Structure 1
Amino acid sequence: MNRASWPAVITLLSSIGLFGCLLQKPSSEMKKPVVETLVSATASWNGDIYAYPKGQAEITLLRIIAPSGFRTPVHTHPQPGIAHVIKGDLECVVKADKTLRVSSGDSFPTTAGDVPHYCENIGKQDAILHIFYAGSQGQPVTIPVK
C-alpha cells in the first residue's frame, strides 16, 4: 500500500466506526442503573444531631473485618459517618437501654460527637463492614475514651 492510499483507508475506517455507532440501540432502550439511597440522615441512630467539624474537609472510607466476639474499646467519633454491614451481626451500645443490632445488608448513620459507645461482633463469623466518615484533615475518626 502506498502513502497516497492511507488517507482513504483512514476515512474508510472512521466511517465504519461511525456507522457502527449509529447501529446501536438508542440510549433510552438501554438498561438503566438502579440507584438506591441506603442512608440519608441529619442525625445518628441514637439521635445525635450531625455537624461538620471545622477545617479542611477530609473523607475516609474504612473496611473493617471484626472476628467473632470482638468488641471495640469504648470510643467516640468527632464527625458524622455512615456504616454498611457487608457480612455478619453487630450490636452497638450507647447505654444499656440504647442499643442497635444490625446484620448483613443493613446501613446506619453512626454516632457523632461526645457519645461514648462500643460495638461488638455478636455473630459466629467474621463481620465485615464499610464505614464512611466526613471529618476534617488531621482529625482522627475514632477517639478512645479513657
Structure 2
Amino acid sequence: MKTFPLKTLLAALTALALLGCTTISPSTDIEREILLQSSKSWDGTPYIRYPDAVPELTVLKLTIPANTKLPWHTHPIPNAGYILSGELMIEDRNSGQTRRVKQGEALAEMVNITHRGVTGDEPVELVVFYAGSEGIPLAE
C-alpha cells in the first residue's frame, strides 16, 4: 500500500477547501442570518480574554415572569442572549446606562459588570449562550 507524504495530503486538503468542497453547497435551501457578532458587550466594553481552561458551552432557555426585576449580578464569562418573546430592559448598576431588547433581537452581555434585567407587562422568553469553562459559574 502506497502512503502519501504529509505535504501532499496538506496540499490536497487546501485545494479542496479553496474549491469550496468543505462548505455547504450554494444549492441548498439553508438560510443564514448573523444575529449577533461582537467583540464587546452592549455598553461598548471590549471582551478581554477567555479563561485559560477547557471550553464549555452552555445554552439556557429562560422564562422571566412579567413585572420582574432580576437580582443584580455579574457574568465572569462572555455570553449572548436572543429574545424569543417579550421585551427586556437591561440596566448597568454603576453607570445607569440601559438598553431595551425586543423579540427577535440579540444582545452581547456584560462581563464582570453588575447589571440586571427588568421585564414589563409581558413575560420574556430568551435563549442565552454562554462561552465558559467547567467549574466557572454562569453568573455571580
TM-score by length of 1: 0.73
Name the structure 2 match of 1:78.
Answer: 76
Paired letter, 1:110: E
Work out whether 1:101 is the aligned partner of 2:118: no
In the TM superposition, what are the counterparts of 1:35-114 in structure 2 within 5 Å?
Answer: 35-50=32-47, 51-95=49-93, 97-112=96-111, 114=112
User: Contact between 1:53 and 1:78, CA under 8 Å: does it hold in 2?
Assistant: no
Question: Quick check: which one's strand share is greater?
Answer: 1
1: CA distance, partners of 2:52 / 2:117: 27
1: CA distance, partners of 2:114 / 2:51: 18
SS of residue matched to 1:82:
strand
What's the CA shift for 1:118?
Answer: 0.7
What's the CA shift for 1:54?
Answer: 1.9
Largest Rg, 1 or 2: 1
Name the structure 2 match of 1:19.
Answer: none
2: CA distance, partners of 1:97 / 1:72: 16
Q: CA RMSD in A?
A: 1.6
Work out whether 1:138 is the aligned partner of 2:135: yes
2: CA distance, partners of 1:60 / 1:31: 29
Aligned-pair identity (%): 30
2: CA distance, partners of 1:97 / 1:74: 13
Show CA shifts across 1:92-113 (max 9, x none): 000464101011101011111x
Question: Quick check: which one's helix share is greater?
Answer: 1
Paired letter, 2:57: I
Runs of 4 or more above 2 Å deviation: none
Aligned length: 114
Structure 1 runs not aligned, ≥5 long: 1-26
2: CA distance, partners of 1:100 / 1:54: 31
